Amino acid sequence: MSMVEIIVLGVALAMDAFAVTISNAFCYRGASRARLFVLPIAFGVFQGLMPLLGFFLGGIIGNIIEAYAGIVTLVILGIIGGTMIKEGVSALRNPEESCSIEAQRLTAGLILMQSVATSIDAFAVGVSLRAVNVDIALSAAIIALTTCACCFVALALGKRFGNVLGDRAQIVGGVVLVLIGLKAMFF
């Protein structure tokens, strides 16, 4: 594979992480810059690590991971997204009784779950890369850096749209996560 092909592959793999980063940026408006900057790094690390794991473990457990990747992604992102939608609707109905979006925390555990859920497809790519003559370390690094760069762009977009959407941002973010989960399951 050429460098350009690997970069295009990296961009394609980064799209789920890109969408989740946008969603997080506008849903967790109260999160510190440091916490938000963890998102691109975490997504990049996992997007780079999973092809390596797929490449080296693909022959052993690749079929199992590929068989359940869609359902695992749907469950994780569906739960997170569903909770966000529920809390967002509750906040719109009872603004004085509900916790504000700014007070909700973007936790390390949440970032970890999202990183895993959005990078499962990269494991399958790693399994596929076994079949072609590629330098897997270089390919994984390019995929990681591409994802990181895309997610930094997503941070800027998420902050911008979060301010435009206001309190509806949490609902929109939840819907985006659920749609990503559905895409992983059925497409």
Q: Map tokens 């897997």 to a residue.
A: 136
Amino acid 49: pLDDT: 97
DSSP 4-47: HHHHHHHHHHHHHHHHHHHHHHHH-TTS-HHHHHHHHHHHHHHH
Amino acid 102: pLDDT: 43
pTM of the model: 0.75
Amino acid 109: pLDDT: 92
Amino acid 95: pLDDT: 58
Q: Are 170 and 88 in contact (CB under 8 A)?
A: yes
Which tokens hold the place of 132? Answer: 């072609």
Amino acid 51: pLDDT: 95
Amino acid 143: pLDDT: 97
Q: For residue 40, give every residue at least 6 positions away whose Cβ sits within 8 Å of its Cβ, in sequence order, or none.
A: 21, 147, 148, 149, 150, 151, 152, 154, 155
Stretches where the chain sits below pLDDT 70 are: 59, 62, 65, 95-104, 162-163, 165-167, 169
Amino acid 116: pLDDT: 93
Amino acid 165: pLDDT: 67
Amino acid 175: pLDDT: 87
13, with CB counted inside 10 A (0-12, 13-18, 19+), is buried
Q: For residue 157, give every residue at least 6 positions away whose Cβ sits within 8 Å of its Cβ, in sequence order, or none.
A: 22, 25
Amino acid 62: pLDDT: 63
